[in-house]
Amino acid sequence: MEIFSKILSNTDITKRLGFPTIALNHFSFPEEDHHYVHFLVNDSSTQNGWKFRLSKRQNSNYPKPAMTGDWLKFVETRGLKQGDQVILRKLVDEAGGVNYSIAVRKMIKLFGNVIYVDQDEAGA
């Protein structure tokens, strides 16, 4: 199940990934007043596992979630640039266990048109 896909901004690749508020529904925060959760994400293209931290504002009507942790290492390893796209997915197994995966689509300009190609297909 796709949690979200996002075209990356400059802030996303230099500081933290701005996380869609609606996607918070896919994560369980340990306690109501606990404002962050760590989770592991599988990256099948590099065979790496990444430990991301999803945090939200405390005591606010607008939680403004953001993803940090290994996020900037992920950006560097995958050579992400502004305009590239990431897709975060949640997989629930038969026993109810949850696994997360992330995919990258590189932005390519071809004859003045922007197209997106899976990173493996782009040769990156």
Which has the closest alpha carbon to 71: 25, 6, 115, 2?
6
85 contacts 27 by C-beta, under 8 angstroms: no
87 φ, ψ (degrees, to nearest 5): -130, 120
Strand partners, 11: none
Domains of the chain: 2-122 (2.40.330.10)
Provide the CA 43 distance to its chain's centre, in angstroms.
11
Percent of the chain having pLDDT more than 90?
A: 51
**pLDDT attached to residue 32:** 66
Residues 53-67: pLDDT tens digits? 999 887 667 788 999
Residues 6 or more apart from 38 whose CB is under 8 A from it?
51, 52, 53, 54, 69
Residues 20-69: pLDDT tens digits? 888 988 888 776 667 899 999 998 777 789 999 999 887 667 788 999 99
67 contacts 54 by C-beta, under 8 angstroms: yes
